[in-house]
Structure 1
């Protein structure tokens, strides 16, 4: 049996995040998590009835952290200034798309705690979407973004380009700069 030791919520959530990103929701188990944390499964069950409770709590933690950092950004400039700031921020928080994709995988009917967490996560998601939608609207007001392109397409493009893997090891600054250029001006010579 693994030797018991105390762990913080931060330790627990970081281990959960690493495991979910590496292996996915379905492969996540308390046994594997306990092994990573060097504790018994029972020490995790003291706080969480099942993996859905833990994962939903982890998702709440991640979304709270993401939204707090996003809200702390100085978004007082024009669209181009905000665009650079927001794209840099999204790259710094690049795992958020993997985290958000987990939400629909959690069954709502496991426990009341999971149900409440999923409801709150939906609110966080709407808040996040509305903030990014406001960013797109600023671009439209400044006549920088084409009005005929749906907001959902624009936001999807932004978030999906962030998810493109850098298999060729292009330096991060060059990678981000290239993504910004493609998002801002496309790939065609004029």
Structure 2
């Protein structure tokens, strides 16, 4: 199994660290983020002797995902490793203010996007003889913090689909896993005070 690594939401934070680490381990890396956000990460990887390309695109849009994976395949080869890390706004919304729209905002990134991405890369992984799909999960479903029900529900759904995919795709040599780190303060949390940080 060879191929390239595609890391979504990799222009900063955890995604950038993942992209740099994969490149350091010899993977050609497609660094996905919104336009203009991935340039510095790609420059860092290339300066360190790795191979990387900017791969902009909205990973919640089906046409964009198809275009993105096609472009990555043309530049770096089939995707052998997918890290679905991209996320959107994560508002704290209490029960009284919760709406279906709030839920949809989280499901877009943690159910729809991983589904679109996996369906786009799996044919290439099968041609390679196997692959790796890694969803970035969360410990929030277990922590059950007030105000985080929409986020936690979407992350729980992500875990469930990952478990089913692991059984469905394993016969093709494709492993599907969730990595669920705790809260990691990155650039998006620059304005979060110690008092406001998620805690048990």
Does the pair score TM above 0.5?
Answer: no
TM-score under structure 1 normalisation? Answer: 0.30
More strand by share: 2
When Rg is computed on C-alpha atoms for both structures, the one with the higher figure is 1
TM-score under structure 2 normalisation? Answer: 0.29
